[in-house]
Structure 1
Amino acid sequence: MSRHVAIVTDSTAYLPPEAMERHGIIAVPLTVVLGDQALEDGTELSARELASALQKRRPVTTSRPSPEVFAAAYRAAADAGASGIVSLHLSAEMSGTYDAALLASKDAPVPVRVVDTGMVAMALGFCALEAAETVEEGGSLDEAVAAAEKRAAGTSAYFYVDTLDYLRRGGRIGAAQALLGSALAVKPLLRLESGRIEPLEKVRTASKAIARLEEIVAEAAGSARVDVAVHHLAASERAERLAERLCERVPGLVDLHVSEVGAVIGAHTGPGLLGAVVSPR
């Protein structure tokens, strides 16, 4: 398996550990600040602890990795034999992670291509997997970047939240601000659009919203060969039911991932999040 081009992403990709190990993908962690504790996303704070803190209205904030952390990751990849690096990150509209990676890339010991995918969660993860598979098939640095960008362009992400309050508090609400006036009366469906969280539909009850989410994902998938991810925070039963229904309704389903989001995304969406990513092959 070729490793002449290394693939770096960040912890918000929520890639399964076995997939990261199999493809040699490096994930740089973002930071979660819970009270006076600074913790690494995905390793030092469990989803249960996060949900509990949010429900108790304890302050939870997030921050990008420092350029120094990225520089260390790039040096490690070069020391392991990489002659080039593709560094794929969550939307620059949502985080300064891309900027930190870009800054670190300027002094890296090998060429680094930093990409703002405009995605997050497994919408980002699928881009990293596409880049890794391209490299494993003998693709160049440029070909891996092109493959990731093409995957990002075709990928859609939708999600349901119990309340817009966490998105409002975190300043990530974007045009969904328009829903706040009627937030108590609706259950919002949102989507990732141009790297931002945008309103999609307003539904009256949680059960109808989740049923509608299923419809939207099935329609987006159509009959094409697609990978699908279902994400949640403190809503495992909802996630499993949605995954089961999508298995029945998406004829071209190739890979299905079900996972709980980490603290960086969870802090901005709150418990009850149910998200779905559709990524055509």
Structure 2
Amino acid sequence: MREKIAWITDSTGFLDEELKKNPDVYVVPMVVIINGREYEDGVDLSPDQLFRYMREDKVIPTTSQPSVGTFAELFRKLEPHYDRIVSVHVSSSLSGTVASSRQAAELVSIPVHIFDSLLISFPMTLLLKKIMRDLESGYPIEEAFIRAARYRDSNETYVLIGSLEQLHRSGRLSGTQYLLGSVLNVKPIISLEKGALATKTKARSERKAGQVILKFFLESCKKGKVTDCTILYGSSPEQTESFREAILAENPDVIIHIYPLGTAIGVHAGEKTVGLSWFQDP
């Protein structure tokens, strides 16, 4: 008989309708701290509420990973009902969520398999879905994780940060990079490199930065098989329209997903952030 698996991710990802309807998928919320009060991401704080606080009240939110106790409580709750747990989380270079889940896994008897996505937002969710498909197709967990790592390592993600000040205050942008961006109007294009934020290159305007990201995408399409991509946005999907039109003008066959970055990422990046992410298909 096929094993019953519980699937866990965290709220930095964004579940599509298929995953929202799956009764075996569980989301552990990140913690967002505003004016000393703790909110659970996606439970009592939405991205719209977060950005309104930031915009109107000029607050500087911070984030914290779910505690070991939060994970352990969920694992114990699931233990009587499942044979094993597969847990896929936001990059360990950006959050301590993977570390919390690993510590909690040592406190329970049920096998817990933890995968460090080295990604953020919906790209992390796509990785979760790949692991689900592979296990449902009969791959052993070890091989499914090897295949997922190969798929993960093919990912390219580029982000045009909406608020350099917010990213600087969160400690994820150096003072020099912040000065260049704010005073000289140089727009750093941030990439995910092995799960960490890095400045890929710079452009002299937001429009040119978008053109550079599009160029990276088209070059990747020429090098390999790219059938779909994900446009990520801060607070408004309208931000993505020019990106979507530019992509389709060059590659009309590509499937485009459009998803929000989410609350926990928005804390650091700001509401006007927009990004583009894709995988090379195997």
Within the alignment, does 1:115 sit opposite 2:109 as a pair? no
Q: CA deviation at 1:3?
A: 5.4
SS at match of 1:72: helix
Over residues 47-95 of structure 1, what are the superposed CA-to-partner deviations in whole Å (9 max), with x where a residue is unaligned?
Answer: 22222222242121111101122123323443332x2222111111111
Q: Which residue of the partner structure matches residue 242 of structure 1?
A: 243
Q: Which residue of the partner structure matches residue 149 of structure 1?
A: 149
Query: After alignment, is 21-30 or 52-61 more displaced?
Result: 21-30
Distance 2:169 2:68 in 1: 26
User: 1:16-55 alignment to 2 at 5 Å?
Assistant: 16-22=16-22, 24-55=24-55
Q: Could you tell me which runs of 5 or more consecutive residues in structure 1 were left unpaired when the two chains were aligned.
A: none
When residues 23 and 133 of structure 1 are mapped into structure 2, their CA distance, relative to the original with a 3 A threshold, is farther
**Contact 2:68/2:104 (8 A) holds in 1:** yes
Aligned length: 277
Distance 2:237 2:71 in 1: 33
Distance 1:177 1:55 in 2: 22
Q: CA deviation at 1:123?
A: 2.4
Query: After alignment, is 261-270 or 222-231 more displaced?
Result: 222-231
When residues 42 and 261 of structure 1 are mapped into structure 2, their CA distance, relative to the original with a 3 A threshold, is farther
Q: CA RMSD in A?
A: 2.3
Distance 1:61 1:178 in 2: 22
User: 1:80-229 alignment to 2 at 5 Å?
Assistant: 80-81=81-82, 83-173=83-173, 177-184=175-182, 185=184, 186-222=186-222, 224-229=225-230
**Contact 1:229/1:278 (8 A) holds in 2:** yes
Distance 2:12 2:211 in 1: 26
Q: Which residue of the partner structure matches residue 279 of structure 1?
A: 279
Over residues 184-212 of structure 1, what are the superposed CA-to-partner deviations in whole Å (9 max), with x where a residue is unaligned?
Answer: 22122110112211111211111222222
Over residues 223-255 of structure 1, what are the superposed CA-to-partner deviations in whole Å (9 max), with x where a residue is unaligned?
Answer: 5144321111124222133234334434663x5
Over residues 118-156 of structure 1, what are the superposed CA-to-partner deviations in whole Å (9 max), with x where a residue is unaligned?
Answer: 211122112111111112212222233223222211111
Fraction of identical pairs, as percent: 26
Distance 2:175 2:124 in 1: 24
Query: After alignment, is 155-164 or 207-216 more displaced?
Result: 207-216
Over residues 234-278 of structure 1, what are the superposed CA-to-partner deviations in whole Å (9 max), with x where a residue is unaligned?
Answer: 24222133234334434663x532112221100000121001111
Q: CA deviation at 1:178?
A: 4.2
**Contact 1:227/1:280 (8 A) holds in 2:** no
Distance 1:216 1:102 in 2: 35
Q: Could you tell me which runs of 5 or more consecutive residues in structure 2 were left unpaired when the two chains were aligned.
A: none
